[in-house]
Amino acid sequence: MLRWADNDELFKKELEAGFEWQLKVAKYLKQCGFNPKVPKLTFRDKIADAHLYKDLEDIECCGKLIEVKSRKLYFTCPNDFPYDTIMIDTTDGWDGKENKPDAYVCISRFTDKMIVLPSRKTCKHWVKTRRFDNTRKIYVDSYECHREHWRSMDSFVLALNKIK
């Protein structure tokens, strides 16, 4: 069986799908009057180059780094998220970043609704979990945070307007 890290076809497919969700978030921010910057989509040539990409942000807006995570779950706000905790990032993903994201945007692949976690203000509430990733067919260690700490996209936009 092909290891996840060596499965270039699945890696590229997931990266391209993730990029489309980044663009949806950036488009929403643009509609709210901001000028979000999304780096060009690039692929590693080989797995040995993966470390060169660990600090590429998904979106930069008003000087804030924003990481986007799409979920195959139905939700419209933090209160109707189907679980008590919401996955933020893999432990390798967060711990490996020199430039930590200021916020995580979680977007539903069914409703296109977005919720936001201000990472620096909430990291003391994060818990480490180990879960099976059905897409990659591997167990991953990740950080999660209770949904009470997540915010609506509208509240995030208000916060960005204060620093604009």
Domains detected in the chain: 4-163 (3.40.1350.10)
Dihedrals phi, psi of 85, to nearest 5 degrees: -115, 155
- Entry pTM: 0.87
Mean pLDDT (10-residue bins), the chain, 164 residues: 58 74 96 94 59 69 96 96 96 90 97 96 97 85 97 96 86
DSSP string, 116-136: EEEHHHHGGG-EEEEEEETTT
Read off the tokens for 96: 């490996």
Pairwise CA distance, residues 9 & 133, whole Å: 17
User: Would you state the pLDDT for residue 54?
Assistant: 56
Burial 4-43 (b: 16+ CB within 10 A, else e): beebeeebeeeeeeebebbbbbbebbeebebebebeeeee
- Quote the DSSP letter at residue 63: T
